[in-house]
Structure 1
Amino acid sequence: MPSSLRHFIVWPMIVGSVTAHCAAQPSASLMRINGLTSAETPTVEGRILVTAQDGGLLLEDRSGRIHQLRAGEFQSTEETGQEFVHLNTEELAASLLRQTGGAFQIRQTDHYVLCSSATELYTEYVAQLLEKTHNEFRRFMESLQVPLKDSAAPLPVIVFGDSDRFLEFAGRQHPETSFADVPGYYSLRHNQMLITAPSGMKDYRSRSDVLRELKRRPRQVETVVHEAVHQLAFNTGVQVRYADNPMWLSEGLAVYFESANGRSATLWNRPGEPNRIHLPGAQTCITNEERFQLSLTDLVRTDAAFLSADTAASAYAESWALVHYLTEKQPKALGQLLKELGQRTPLIAVSPESRVTSLTSAAQQTLSELETQVVRHIKRMRGPR
């Protein structure tokens, strides 16, 4: 996979196929799960999101981490007599410091708790960029008339001053995933965003030094925005964690937002700028027959194209192109699709046919007709200035 694509959401592996009983809302009670056989501690407390027919559980603890427990991996459940509430700002800060250890400090903003071992200058830059992304995300969703929930708790972000510490922490958090050449990611399981500072950042003495260096590394800026959009989507009701979220829409939305712009104080201005990677990538994917090399049918029906090194670049580029087209030309359709995402149920698969129907019904076009329009839209676009 090209290094330009190596920022991503860490999608958890869903164990088996689960037929689940799901209440309309997660449990409001704080439950205690005893006798865990495959966890760091023998007990865990949280709210039950899903109870499967075979007795398995999907449980969210107070830090926001989701635990997927098979039947037989725990002995019993019991009521604590308390209401489930997420960790407050102070509790979350303490939890992050316990996870990261020494040399990390807390920086709080209106909507985030940053736990950082990077320089104060870089941490402050990331904090400002996160808040700007938060505000633009809400403005964007409001323009599409997509209802948003207020986040139940501050959003946790860990900023690493060096890549070695980042790789060590990421490897412990997700040992099944390679993080080589990855400047950051959003962990769907832990509901945490992790970012590493560029090498050499400790040598800079002013904000202008930091901005000058980041102008040379737009990918660093874009990674913060990209992962922040993932985290925001899953914490405002736009998407549901552990539901069947089509990657073309999840990743298309994030790459639609990400493009850096050196003309603003945060080096990022707003969503929808021509993407320096994916616009030429999408244009390259157009065949002589005015179609995409990776058809929209193959992109939309399943996530397979994102999981193959041979097609991942095309999948990201065409997802960006599709979301850009829908935003510019069919915003009502995009709003409908995002509203449907927020109604998904954890662990319940959506068939390939249903994925296609959701898009064609919203756009009121066949996939072939839609592909023709997206190709025309992208061919007319010019790259970033």
Structure 2
Amino acid sequence: MPFLAPKSARASQGWPELIVIAPRIIIYGWFIAVTLPLAGDEPRSSLEQLRRVTIDRDDTRSTIDGRILFTGAEGGILLESQTTRYWLLQANEIIAQDRLDQPFRIPNHKEFTEQLLQEFPGFESSTTANYVIVHNTTRAYADWCGGLYERLHRAFINYWKTRGVKLVSPEYPLVALVFKNRAAYEAYAVKDIGPSAKSMLGYFNIQTNRVVMFDLTGVENATGGQRVTSADQVNRILIQPAAERTVATIVHEATHQISYNCGLQTRLAGNPKWVSEGMAIFFETPDLRNRRGWSGIGKVHRLHLANFQRRSPGNGVIRRIVADDQPFTSSTTAGVAYSQAWALTYYLQKTQKKQYSQYMKGLSEMQPLAEETAEERLQRFQTAFGDIVKLESNFVPFMLKIR
């Protein structure tokens, strides 16, 4: 998930740097080099006051309306716009801050959709109970995406409910941008996150809070160049075994989005990457033959299981991925780190359900821009699950026995 500010500003100002590297290796990620020193929460009444912030960035002056979530000790702010975008603004960029004579208000579905269509002229919208799909592809594909997302949303909420974790409804409609083909997607995505977008089928941008993808029915000429006209036709194309990993990418990124908007995780907090990625993989297996349910949650992930069993045995597996996100950001270790994250998530969900739920409740209370040291991460983990050495002595043999 990319950080909006220009690279020069990121490097000099010490804000979190958000990066995206290769597909299915680092779908989203961040390095928090120096967190913003917070001056403390503002009073609730102040938080809900609509502000207009005038900034000068790259010699261009502009205004942003929103609510201030945090103010740094040196004057930087984290601003949330009324389209749920987070803006990390440096003190030296801010020209003026004005309180508007109106409260910050969450737009309704109709207003939110209208704002998105103004941002993307020529696009259309497809709405569901929880989503706005903004697209320039077929209505059939957009509707299919909406149906898939709603099924995942229901399954995600119900899964955690049965484990004693009460989630909340998103404040905003969840947004998915769907482009008609890969070329249109790349033209947008390269500007949004950089050239790495060309190696991805889709991504979740934690700053804009949007999932971005393209019409996958054209992947590898699956439809012979013919545009689909119904959601059932889309399903018949993407239910094929060859499309399994393609669909898994959509679900993986949508899982990130739900998690950050339903209270399980906090956007821009220092969430351990093993948690975020392990959970997204745990949920990513869809059951397209079932048009109502979602029976794939928690199934053994054959690709990651094989990778784990082939490359992971040895000491220190858990400590490495819990203490530091670095294994996920190196091209030489990211592949196995993702498999280890899935394996650890799978193991804990199967053997320590209550402890895992309590661990997730604790992480959900982290504030934006908060970061934990390696020692703090390990302490939090061991408080929930016990001694890492002992845990690993059970974890690795358990995963090696799975067939």
**TM-score scaled by length of structure 1:** 0.90
- 1:255 maps to 2:273: no
Q: How does 1:234-383 map to 2 (within 5 A)?
A: 234-261=260-287, 263-265=289-291, 269-287=295-313, 291=314, 295-363=317-385, 365-382=386-403
Aligned-pair distance for 1:167? 0.8
Provide the C-alpha distance between the structure 1 equivalents of 2:197 and 2:374, rounded to a whole number of angstroms.
30
Aligned match of 2:39: 21
Change (3 A) 1:41 1:191: farther
Q: Which deviates the most, 249-258 or 74-83? A: 74-83
Q: How many residues align?
A: 374
Provide the C-alpha distance between the structure 2 equivalents of 1:300 and 1:24, rounded to a whole number of angstroms.
32
> Equivalent of 1:95, from 115, 124, 143?
115
Contact 2:275–2:345 under 8 Å retained in 1: yes
Aligned match of 2:85: 65
Aligned-pair distance for 1:260? 3.5
Contact 1:7–1:223 under 8 Å retained in 2: no
Q: How does 1:103-252 map to 2 (within 5 A)?
A: 104-175=123-194, 178-198=196-216, 199=218, 200=221, 201=223, 202-214=226-238, 215=240, 216-252=242-278
Change (3 A) 1:346 1:302: same
Change (3 A) 1:368 1:263: farther
Provide the C-alpha distance between the structure 2 equivalents of 1:98 and 1:379, rounded to a whole number of angstroms.
53
Please list every run of 5 or more consecutive structure 1 residues that lacks an aligned counterpart in the other structure. none
The amino acid of 1:379's aligned partner reads L
Provide the C-alpha distance between the structure 1 equivalents of 2:97 and 2:231, rounded to a whole number of angstroms.
52
| Structure with higher RCO (Cα < 8 A, 6+ apart) | 1
The amino acid of 2:400's aligned partner reads K
Change (3 A) 1:79 1:204: closer
Contact 1:256–1:273 under 8 Å retained in 2: yes
The amino acid of 1:67's aligned partner reads W
Aligned match of 1:79: 99
* 1:10-67 CA-partner distances (Å, limit 9, x unpaired): x456574321123188711111112433496521111111100010001110001100
Q: Secondary structure at the match of 2:282?
A: helix
- 1:54 maps to 2:80: no
Aligned-pair distance for 1:244? 0.7
Provide the C-alpha distance between the structure 2 equivalents of 1:305 and 1:361, rounded to a whole number of angstroms.
23
* 1:117-148 CA-partner distances (Å, limit 9, x unpaired): 22222222211110010001101111221221
Q: Which deviates the most, 267-276 or 52-61? A: 267-276
**TM-score scaled by length of structure 2:** 0.86
Q: Secondary structure at the match of 1:270?
A: coil
Provide the C-alpha distance between the structure 2 equivalents of 1:236 and 1:40, rounded to a whole number of angstroms.
35
The amino acid of 1:226's aligned partner reads H
Contact 2:56–2:62 under 8 Å retained in 1: yes
The amino acid of 2:340's aligned partner reads E
Aligned-pair distance for 1:87? 2.6
Question: In angstroms, what is the RMSD of aligned CA positions?
Answer: 2.4
Q: Secondary structure at the match of 2:302?
A: coil
* 1:216-264 CA-partner distances (Å, limit 9, x unpaired): 2112221121111111111111111111111000111101000244543
The amino acid of 1:359's aligned partner reads F
Provide the C-alpha distance between the structure 2 equivalents of 1:40 and 1:150, rounded to a whole number of angstroms.
37
Provide the C-alpha distance between the structure 2 equivalents of 1:372 and 1:39, rounded to a whole number of angstroms.
57
Q: Secondary structure at the match of 1:5?
A: coil
Please list every run of 5 or more consecutive structure 2 residues that lacks an aligned counterpart in the other structure. 1-19
Contact 2:25–2:334 under 8 Å retained in 1: no
Provide the C-alpha distance between the structure 1 equivalents of 2:129 and 2:228, rounded to a whole number of angstroms.
27
Provide the C-alpha distance between the structure 2 equivalents of 1:85 and 1:380, rounded to a whole number of angstroms.
53
Aligned match of 2:17: none
Identity of aligned residues (%): 29
Q: Which deviates the most, 60-69 or 37-46? A: 37-46
Provide the C-alpha distance between the structure 2 equivalents of 1:334 and 1:144, rounded to a whole number of angstroms.
9
* 1:322-378 CA-partner distances (Å, limit 9, x unpaired): 111111110111111211111112222201011111111111x22122222222332
